[in-house]
A and B are shown apart, each in its own frame.
Chain A
Amino acid sequence: MLAIFLKRLLLAIPVLLAVASLTFFLIKLAPGGPFDADRAVSPQVLKNLEAAYNLDSSQWEQYVDYMSGIVVGDFGPSFRYPGRSVSEMIATGLPITFELAFYAILIALLIGVSSGVLAALKRNTYLDFIPMAIAMIGICVPTFLMGPLLVLIFGINLEILPVSGWGQLSGDKILPSVTLGFAYAAYIARLSRGGMLEILNQDFIRTARAKGLTETKVVVKHAMQGGLIPVVSFLGPAVAGLLAGSFVVETIFQIPGLGRFYVEAAFNRDYTMILGTTIFFSAMIVFFNLLSDLAALWLNPRSRDTR
């Protein structure tokens, strides 16, 4: 297991290098620059600004300069927010985005797994149809609709929860976490139902039941371990997706997370910020994929043996 872990970790380095290099050159191809503004900047001022940010040297020099910076963890200064470094801004937004993603995945797992398992156990009854129909709605309704809808009901009409913020007013973390978690809960519900249905038909489940084990033990100890492997495999990309895709929820609920920097950086042509966040999120995706692969390996003895 350790060997696989180390091998995959080493493989991540060229992947991240390729991401960083491609992003570096691609963003320079986009028309417009970080200093373009409604109030046109004079050529003299533009020259000074470009000199201040090392944009007046050749592309190659800039590339070497940037890459040698990131080796030591320096992602450079932000263009949009002069005086702030990209590392500082990532460090500010990251804990919040992580917290949001954590609550969201917790909600997704609680709702998703319980309703998926229940649906599998009560196949073709209303306890199967209703949660699965809700899951389908969850998959279909985008967060930018779900968020304002929940706000309208719980924030404005019922007045029981704040409509925005993060850690400012009591209860302000609930609606964003539910909004973000709900879409993933829907996927997880369908995956756990499918996985459980497959396992429940296996011989070893029949054996467990024949041994006289209680239904709870059969489901929890035997069926769920194998039945939830698809969910575990899904969790890696899901967590990475939650982190990188929290932009919509962060915007709707005015949450100062990393997702907003990520998307706004692209609109602002904040080169270093785009690069920093892209590299960071790529690393997250690689890391969480690796974790979920390892977890699936651990849960599934067959795949462990073959490797």
Chain B
Amino acid sequence: MKYSSIIAAFFLFSCSSSISPVDDAIDKQIYHVGNGSEPQGLDPHVVTGVPEHNILIALSEGLTASNPKGGENVSGAAKSWKISEDGLVYKFFLHENGKWSNGDSVTADDFVWSWKRILTASLGSQYPDMLYYVVGAEDYHKGITDDFSKVGIKALDDLTLEVTLKNPTPFFIGLLSHYSTWPVHKETVLKHGSIDDRNGLWTRPGNFVGNGAFKLKEWELNNKIILERNPHYWDANTVKLNEIHYYPVSNIMTEDRMFRSGQIHLTYDTPSQKCPSYLESNPNMRTSPYMGQYFYRINTKNSILQDVRVRKALSLSIDRKTIVEKVTQCGEKAAISITPPGANGYFPQTSLDFDPQKAKQLLIEAGYENGEDIKGLEILFNTNENHRKIALAVQQMWKQNLGISVELVNQDWKVYLAREMIGDYSISRAGWIGDYEDPNTFLDLFRPNRGNNKTGWVNKEYDRLIDLANKTMDQDKRYKLLNAAEEIIMDELPILPIYNYVKDYQISSDVKGFYPNYLDHHHPKYIYLERD
């Protein structure tokens, strides 16, 4: 009797029927979002991930902003901009009514100081190279000069910012919507620490001052982050949401259940095993092209794989169509290039064929009468069910089409990264998401001396073409040059592209103003909730 009353009290204390957060959200305009993992922090100059970006896009604003419908960037903190004829000098004109969330005006000096901060070596930012296109930026970051006045960013007056580039960089406007270039409020940062404090106390609720459409209201670690509208924002009239609640749900099955029970409007991801059935019968399921690429890195220093014919044979014996149709099954597209087609109007004219006969021939030319002579190759991948499935399929295809036996090596994420970094692998799974909407964000990876190349592959002509392309203002000419570089890399194959990513997620039909776009950037200022 005593026990049963305690149990009853426990259940009564915590159980009563209530309206779901999604149903409750329409009147209150509260948008509930599944956001992957707990953000590392909210300091735009320190953090690096997608969940962080999803929150920062609401809290801060760069000079330009991603277009909600994709394509060319739109006005951000800068109302307009003017580019000199030689493409080297950019003048940005800020909004007269641009304000920080504490009511201070957003000035050109704020950008100068913020860019100085990201280029301050002791801050340890992982994205300073985003600004290396600016005159003197790299030298300042690397300590070659300690005079910031030599860096090509100047405040001409309160509302005019001048940026001088080393070379005409046609994608510079696009790059400015990346959070590493966004401003931070100097007085607030310095009030709570120094210029190089990583994620200092200024990023906490009550302290955070941003120039975005929303401001930080609450932050419960590993639970949720709540933003509320910023009345000082220059475009406050466009904003319809009152609050956004971000949930760091790292388990996608939990997130799926949260969506099904009406706790969130938008999921970060979809469980891959559910993708095929959801695509068929779930009206809330969406899939849209995403500027990302799934590929296999090849260690070109490996004694077998240094022969381009072997690499070509491996590529020709992968049936990419079967992988996307039978293995990943979430609407992915078989890859034809390293750059996913359609990045800001760039469509590479390359192809990656499936031709086992030709593959065998190439192998014979390389001196391997039989694929069984090739021993010791491994596919390295980090722990993930999808990576394992794809590796199994590729392993099977190579065995069947070429007779080559490769071993699958599954490692924990950090071990996998460490092995890739020191070149302790033969073939390794990889993925890349574009930082900005331009082919350069992919093609730049494989230039010599780039930390993310990791393949040991160096091609001077490839490097020259990309360098030339990035100095070419005419977009058609530039894309032709980039395509020529793309042809080189697809001929030499230091990497084997497998498929182009898609973004698959579930979204409530109440969410309006949410448009699929290639970078998957969704500025919440355009989003509102309405039930049909």
B41, B222, B431, most chain A CB atoms within 10 A: B222
**Is the Cβ of A33 less than 8 Å from the Cβ of B126?**
no
Which chain A residues (165-200) contact chain B, with CB distance < 8 Å?
Answer: 165-166, 168-174
Is B506 close to A, CB under 8 A? no
Contact yes or no, A162 B16, CB < 8 A? no
Contact between B124 and A48, CB atoms less than 8 A apart: yes
CB–CB A159/B15 < 8 A: no
Chain A residues with Cβ below 8 Å from B16 are: 170-171
**Interface assignment of A261: CB less than 8 Å from any CB of chain B:** yes
Q: Are A39 and B48 in contact (CB under 8 A)?
A: yes
Asked if B124 and A45 sit within 8 Å, CB to CB, the answer is yes
Asked if residues A83 and B41 are in contact (CB atoms below 8 Å), the reply is yes
Residue interface mask B408-435, A partner, CB < 8 A = 1: 0000111111110100000000010000
Which residues from 1 to 56 on chain B have a C-beta closer than 8 Å to any C-beta of chain A?
3, 6-7, 10-11, 14-18, 21, 38, 40-41, 43, 46, 48
Q: What does the 1/0 interface line of A242-260 toward B look like (CB < 8 Å)? A: 0000000001111011001
Chain B residues, Cβ within 8 Å of A38: 417, 431
Known contacts A110-B3, A164-B258, A254-B247: A40-B15 contact under CB 8 Å: no
Once bound together, how far apart are the Cα atoms of A45 and B196, in whole Å? 13
**Interface presence of B200 (CB below 8 A):** yes
Q: Check if B421 sits within 8 Å of A36, measured CB to CB.
A: yes
Q: Give the CA-CA distance A198 to B7 in the complex, in Å.
A: 29
B residues within 8 A CB of A261?
222
B222 contacts across to A, CB distance below 8 A? 92-93, 256-257, 260-261
User: B121 contacts which chain A residues (CB < 8 A)?
Assistant: 44, 48
Task: Name A's interface SS.
Answer: loop
* Interface residue? B260 (CB, 8 A): yes
- Asked whether A163 and B258 contact (CB < 8 A) given A93-B222, A252-B251, the answer is yes
Produce 1/0 per residue, B383-426, CB < 8 A to A.
Answer: 00000000000000000000000000000111111110100000
Q: Judging by beta carbons under 8 Å apart, are A83 and B253 in contact?
A: no
Contact B41 A82 (CB under 8 A): yes
Confirm or deny: B220 has a beta carbon within 8 angstroms of a beta carbon on chain A.
Answer: yes
Name B435's closest neighbour in chain A (CB-CB): A39
* Inter-chain contacts of A81 with B (CB < 8 A): 38, 40-41, 199
Contact call A173/B14, Cβ cutoff below 8 A:
yes
Most buried by A among B6, B199, B203: B199
Count A-B pairs with CB separation below 8 Å: 160
Which A-chain residue is minimally distant from B422 (CB atoms)?
A31
Partner of A170, one of B15, B141, B257: B15
Question: In the assembly, what is the distance between CA of A224 and CA of B253, in Å?
Answer: 43
Within 8 A of B (CB), among A7-47: 30-33, 36-42, 44-45
Min C-beta distance of A257 to chain B, whole Å: 8
A30 engages B199 (CB within 8 Å) = no
Contacts of B201 in A (CB 8 A): 83
Task: Compute how far the CA of A82 lies from the CA of B11 in the bound complex, rounded to whole angstroms.
Answer: 39
Residues of A within 8 A of B (CB-CB), count: 61
Q: How far is the CA of A49 from the CA of B126 in the complex (A)?
A: 9
- B349 located at the interface, meaning its Cβ lies under 8 Å from any Cβ of chain A in the complex: no
Contact yes or no, B17 A160, CB < 8 A = yes
Asked if residues B223 and A166 are in contact (CB atoms below 8 Å), the reply is yes
Q: Is the CB of B122 within 8 A of A48?
A: yes
- Taking a contact as CB atoms closer than 8 A, the residue among A32, A166, A168 that contacts B414 in the complex is A32
Which candidate, A57-65, A124-132, A148-156, A204-212, is the interface stretch facing chain B?
Answer: A148-156
Contacts of A41 in B (CB 8 A): 126, 451
- In the assembled complex, the Cα of A165 lies from the Cα of B18 at a distance in Å of 14
Q: Which residue of A lies closest to B454 (CB)?
A: A40
Partner of B258, one of A44, A103, A114, A254: A254
B461 on interface, CB distance cutoff 8 Å: no
Contact residues in B for A251 (Cβ distance below 8 Å): 250-251, 254
Point out the residues of chain B lying under 8 angstroms from A44, CB to CB: 121, 141-142
- Whether a CB of chain A sits under 8 angstroms from the CB of B123 is yes
* In the complex, chain B residues 112-128 whose Cβ is within 8 Å of any chain A Cβ: 121-126, 128
Q: If the complex has contacts A40-B421, A155-B257, A267-B413, are A254 and B249 also in contact, measured as CB distance less than 8 A?
A: yes
Provide the bound-state CA to CA distance between A37 and B253, in Å.
25
Interface: A297 (CB within 8 A) = no
Q: Among B10, B124, B224, which residue has its beta carbon within 8 angstroms of that of A49?
A: B124
- Name the B residues within 8 Å of A103 (CB-CB): 10
Contact A31 B452 (CB under 8 A): no
Chain B residue contacts of A171, Cβ below 8 A? 14-16, 18
- A304 proximal to B (CB < 8 A): no
A162 to B48, Cβ gap below 8 A?
no
A161 contacts chain B at the CB level, 8 A cutoff: yes
Q: Is B129's beta carbon under 8 Å from chain A? A: yes
Say yes or no: is B232 at the interface (Cβ < 8 Å to chain A).
no
Residues of A within 8 A of B254 (CB): 163-164, 251-254
- Residue on B with the closest CB to A41? B126
Among B3, B7, B43, B126, find the residue whose CB has the most chain A CB atoms closer than 10 A.
B126
Q: How many whole Å from A28's CB to the nearest CB in chain B? A: 13
Contact status B414-A156, CB under 8 Å = no
A174 to B221, CA, bound (A): 21
| Best-buried of A40, A168, A254 by chain B (most CB within 10 Å) | A254
CB distance from A107 to the nearest CB of B (A): 8
**A268 to B37 alpha-carbon distance, docked (Å):** 12
Residues of B within 8 A of A80 (CB): 40
Closest A residue to B142 by CB, please name it: A44
Contacts of B419 in A (CB 8 A): 31
Assembly CA distance A37 to B18 (angstroms): 42
Known contacts A92-B221, A165-B263, A267-B413; A82/B418 CB under 8 A: no
Report the minimal beta-carbon distance from A188 to chain B, rounded to whole angstroms. 14
B411 to chain A: closest residue by CB: A31
Are A31's CB and B418's CB within 8 A?
A: yes
Chain B nearest CB from A124 CB (Å) reads: 24
CB contact under 8 A between A156 and B261, given known A33-B418, A36-B421: yes
Interface centre among A80, A151, A164, A252 (most CB of B within 10 A): A164
B126 near A39 with CB under 8 A, answer yes
Q: Nearest 6 CB-CB pairs, A to B? A: A32-B414, A83-B199, A40-B451, A256-B222, A256-B223, A82-B198
Could you give 17 example pairs across A and B, Cβ below 8 Å?
A37-B417, A81-B38, A82-B41, A83-B197, A93-B222, A155-B257, A163-B263, A164-B254, A165-B223, A169-B21, A170-B15, A171-B14, A171-B15, A172-B14, A252-B251, A256-B223, A268-B414
Given A161-B15, A169-B263, A256-B221; 13 other pairs, CB 8 A cutoff: A32-B416, A33-B418, A36-B417, A39-B126, A40-B421, A110-B7, A169-B21, A171-B14, A253-B254, A256-B220, A264-B250, A267-B412, A267-B414
Q: Residues of A with Cβ closer than 8 Å to B?
A: 30-33, 36-42, 44-45, 48-49, 51-52, 80-84, 89, 92-93, 103, 106, 110, 114, 148, 151-152, 155-156, 159-166, 168-174, 251-254, 256-257, 260-261, 264, 267-269
Using CB atoms and an 8 Å cutoff, list the residues of chain B in contact with chain A: 3, 6-7, 10-11, 14-18, 21, 38, 40-41, 43, 46, 48, 121-126, 128-129, 141-142, 197-201, 203, 220-224, 247, 249-251, 253-254, 257-258, 260-261, 263, 412-419, 421, 431, 451-452, 454
